[in-house]
Amino acid sequence: MADQKGIFLDKSGTTEPNPELWEPAIVKKADFDAEIERLSQMPTPNNGRRQSWIVHPDSHKLGVGLGLAPGIRPIVEVLNPGEQTRPIRHNSTQVNFCIQGSGHSVVGGKRIDFEQYDVFNFPSMQTYIHVNDTDEVQVRLTYTNAPLLEKMNVHIVEEDPAVDVQLVEEEEGAIAEDDPRRKSPYGTFELTDDGAYLMPYEILIAPEAVESHALHWPWKKVKAELDKLSELGSDYVGRRLYLLWNPMTGRTNGTTPNFFATITIRPPGIVDKPHRHVSAAMNYIFQGEGRSTVEGKVYEWQSGDLLLTAPGWGVHNHASTGTDPIYELTIQDQPLNIVMESLLWQEDLKKPWSVLGAEMGFDTNRGKIAS
């Protein structure tokens, strides 16, 4: 068989085209209800996972890696009373959001008991199951970065893993951390005066490990803190939200290394200032009603709707139009873009954008209001 050969593609003098923005896509509550009913009535699958991917009509243009945004796939997952899923693990990470019922999950040996509107994350390659030990149907929205890994052709999924494999060295011939065989005699050292370094292989293949835990943000506790933000007056120019922060993500401000999850409260009559960012954003509304304006087009939504409100780099803003405050969960791939140094963010369209995480970010007027 002949070897595959790389080819040259002459792009001399060409100009890169601007991204072709996907139009916002919305899943209405009635559509959710119908799909939940369909999933709950089907025969129990062999793996116990009753689920449907939520994908954008344009997603098929990209081939592999289907999602509601190019790197984000929401999944609606249903468990009937008394059911549980079979064990699974994968190198994609997840944010789970319970939208109906309750139950518990076990991830990496840790049990998480959850109720409606609780949020919890799943780290990479930790075996997990979901359990419905109640007499009501359980429904979760799961957000995964699997589409990105599928595009890279490196999404590794293991069904029914026997045990969680850990790196355990055999007693015989084990090498301690301080063993000289694990260290280069030269170490890591500065090569130039402007900060360029050389690092040996021994350190390259043993980066500092940051422990990744499954964390749980109970809605009742989050709501108590979130409601305090409703006291900020109409002069406040920021958004009234909290990031569900996972400390292992550090400076990238994530819930997982790929996504952040924020929960927002929008008092009646609030209209956000138009802005844009490279990261894609999806909003699930679980109370209230309002509208989003994206690239000049208006989309109306209400409680129980899910929508892709911010295709990457699309100008958008949101407004609450009802008499009740809005509560919404937003999933955004900001942490990924920060670590890639690709997160362009324009908080005010009259001012320049910033590369968040590499340059100075933006301020709100909260300090002035509080004083």
How far apart, in whole angstroms, are the C-alpha atoms of residue 280 and residue 135? 37
Q: Tell me if 175 sits within 8 A of 212, measured CB to CB.
A: no
Mention every residue, 6+ apart, whose C-beta is less than 8 A from residue 63: 151
* pLDDT for 230: 83
- Dump pLDDT digits (tens) for 121-155: 999 999 999 999 999 999 999 999 999 999 999 99
Strands 276-277 and 306-310: unpaired
| Residue 71 amino acid letter | G
- Dump pLDDT digits (tens) for 243-257: 999 999 999 999 999
Closest CA to 197 of 210, 209, 184, 182: 184
Q: Give me the DSSP letters along 273-332.
A: PPBEESS-EEEEEEE-EEEEEETTEEEEEETT-EEEEE-TT--EEEEE-SSSPEEEEEEE
Closest CA to 119 of 32, 212, 219: 219
| Residue 305 amino acid letter | D
φ/ψ (deg, to 5) at 169? -80, 145
> Which H helix or E strand runs over 79?
strand 73-79
Give the pTM: 0.92
* pLDDT for 142: 98
Is the model more confident about 259 or about 176? 259
How far apart, in whole angstroms, are the C-alpha atoms of residue 96 and residue 86? 17
* pLDDT for 168: 39
Measuring CA to CA, how many Å separate 156 from each of 40, 129, 159, 320? 28, 17, 10, 41
Domains of the chain: 26-156+213-355 (2.60.120.10)
* pLDDT for 166: 43
3 state SS of 218: coil
* pLDDT for 121: 98
Percent of the chain with pLDDT over 70: 91
How far apart, in whole angstroms, are the C-alpha atoms of residue 2 and residue 269? 67
Helical spans, DSSP H, in 54-213: 146-151, 201-204
Q: What is the DSSP letter of 99?
A: E
Closest CA to 103 of 116, 89, 93: 116
- Dump pLDDT digits (tens) for 166-221: 433 444 444 555 666 566 778 899 999 999 999 998 888 888 899 999 999 999 99
SS (H, E, C) 41-55: HCCCCCCCCEEEECC
Residue whose structure tokens are 């076990």: 106
How does residue 360 score in pLDDT terms, banded at 50, 70 and 90?
A: confident
How far apart, in whole angstroms, are the C-alpha atoms of residue 84 and residue 90? 18
Measuring CA to CA, how many Å separate 344 from each of 168, 279, 334, 361? 42, 8, 10, 10
